[in-house]
Amino acid sequence: MDRRRSSVRSIKGDFKRGNWANKTEFLLSCMGYAIGIGNVWRFPYLCYRNGGGAFLVPYLLMLFLCGVPLFFMETTLGQFAGTGCITMFKIAPLFKGAGYAIVAVNIICTTYYNVIIAYPLLFLANCFRWKLPWIDCENSWNTDNCLPLSGRDTTRIYTNSTILDLNNNFTSERRTKTPADEFFHNRILNISESIEDVGSIVWPLFFCDVVAWVVVYLCIMNGVKSVGKVVYFTATFPFVILFVLLIRGITLPGAWDGIFFYIYPQWHQLTNLKVWADAAVQIFFSLGPGWGGIVNMASYNEFRNNNKGDSILVPILNCGTSIFAGFVVFSVLGFMSYKTGLPVSTVATGGPGLAFVTYPEAITMLPWPHVWAVLFFIMLFLLGLDSCFVQIEAIISSVIDEYPFLMKRKQLVAFASCFIMFLGSILFVTNGGMYLLQLFDWYAASISVILICLVEVFIVGWTYGTDNFVRDLEFMTQEKVHWWWPLCWKFVTPIILTFIFMTSIAFNTTITYHGFLYPDWSIVLGWSSCAASMLCIPLYMGYKLLYFEEGDFVE
């Protein structure tokens, strides 16, 4: 242990990686990384769909059985090693390929994730018009199927194929869309008919993508020094906006009906396996283990920092934000239900549909809609921004730690990384870009990351060993480690991760977007994007076994 500790610490001293200026910067960076767009567009819908308040039972159980132990484990790995996600695997050199897998996953996923934060920018640019362009059907991008949400006196229910008028019975048999739906798909995305028609570049979205990449580069160009200052704004201002939106939301008529719909417990749902699977998956992907971001941020801590408190606080704040965001979302959806006469269950959606269709549609019904639209899309941009630049910083730091001669050219490495990923992101700002984005997000960003985390807990629990890991942790923090943590790292968390992995495959057998069912060749492409990162692990193992040296299994 002493030999490894001295060699690891020398990396920080020799190459001047630097540290956070204070603990607040680390905590804000972790909060900004963990609290992202998914807290707003995914959790509220999952909660309502899976039993309302009853969903909090499996959700909080998964938080403390899997989320917090994983977060604690990764902050310990990063802080003790003082290096990024490649070099940290010196505790089990045979598995160093997992570090390269993390970098590969980040490169693939950040390439398209930055396009997601370009969407709010393009919405923002359209907010400064006299009339919000998604308020009616009188625009060049609207089709004959566009139909605004009606008032309470002529209530209509919209389905994928029909319009039903509650006053006049059946009126037509055609596919209808709201103005916000057509604005997002026909104007923002200018979407094609299928993934087989990639089409050309959507130039307004392309320019917003450029702006997003420039902002990301400016945030990370000086590494931890610039990131530590930027997060004071990017990690806190979204909370201010969420609070303002909540105050506005709960004062609207119908708001409390929406909130009641959100939190009303349906206890019978707890017998449904999928509810538990959704809770586990949401905790896992919300906190962001397995991406290298947590490890990298912790690597800039002071060696004696007590990371246990940090590792409990950040996940709790993350979950609290998700629950809080649900009140913000469903208060406005309740108002939307009141205005249209539609049931809350009809207007409630999740994912991009909530952020870029349903919520913007609801905003048009508010007084001063431009103000609320600007605040909402600024919030979405900031939520996505700090998650994005933390992941890119993880890539850069990991590469530089592995190849220290690049330290003197860190700004150039940061620019080259951003530029290369920007070139890759162009594919996702084409007419068929959203189909590709959904495909890569489905495969490259899910199964790969779960397997990486399984490798991490296997190393800590069974290869390096929890006894050694706990000894290192106690030496670092100068505190005794409770028996609960090694129990989780060795047994509980690996079992839950295996459950997440199996249910992710079992419950996600088909992929669709906008009514389009993906063809077989695209599924092969999706699995290839997953394999591109995962192959790093067995390939590196093969290399190490072929050129075996003493200490290649565990140092």
Number of neighbouring beta carbons within 10 Å of residue 61: 16
**Angle at which helices 97-127 and 203-220 cross, to 10°:** 120
Report which secondary-structure segment, H or E, holds 156.
Answer: strand 156-158
**Cβ 35 vs Cβ 321: under 8 Å:** yes
39 annotated to bind ligand: yes
B/e letters for 62-94, b = 16+ CB within 10 Å, e = fewer, are bbbbbbbbbbbbbbbbbbbbbbbbbbbbbbbbb
Q: Is 34 annotated as a binding residue?
A: yes
Give dist(CA 349, CA 343) in Å, integer: 12
Give the β-pairing of 169-172 and 512-513. Answer: unpaired
Residue 520 labelled as part of a binding site = no
C-alpha 462/C-alpha 64 separation (Å) is: 21
Tally of CB atoms within 10 A around 419: 12
CA 26/CA 31 separation, integer angstroms: 9
* Unique residue bearing structure tokens 């906190």: 287
Residue 202 CB neighbours (<10 A): 22
318 labelled ligand-binding: yes
144 assigned binding-site residue: no
**Residue closest to 340 by CA, chosen among 260, 248, 253:** 253
Distance CA 106, CA 290 (A): 10
Residue 163 DSSP symbol: E
- Residue 517 DSSP one-character state: E
At 57, the amino acid letter reads V
Tokens of residue 344, six digits: 């809350």
Tell whether residue 437 is among the known ligand binding residues. Answer: no
| Nearby residues of 553 by Cβ (< 8 Å), 6 or more positions away | 92, 93, 94, 463
Q: Is the dihedral of CA 215, 326, 258, 182 positive or negative?
A: positive
User: Annotation-wise, does 387 bind a ligand?
Assistant: yes
Q: How far is CA 303 from CA 76, 81, 313, in A?
A: 10, 9, 19
Q: How far apart are CA 400 and CA 416, in angstroms?
A: 13
Crossing angle between the packed helical segments 307-340 and 23-34, to the nearest 10 degrees: 40
Cα–Cα distance measured from residue 364 to residue 180, given in angstroms and rounded to the nearest whole number: 9
Cα angle vertex 45, ends 516, 510, to 5°? Answer: 30
- 169-172 vs 163-165, strand pairing mode: antiparallel
The answer on whether 310 is annotated among ligand-binding residues is no
Which residues are annotated as part of the binding site? 32, 34, 39, 286, 318, 383, 386-387
Which residues are annotated as part of the binding site for Na(+)? 32, 34, 39, 286, 318, 383, 386-387
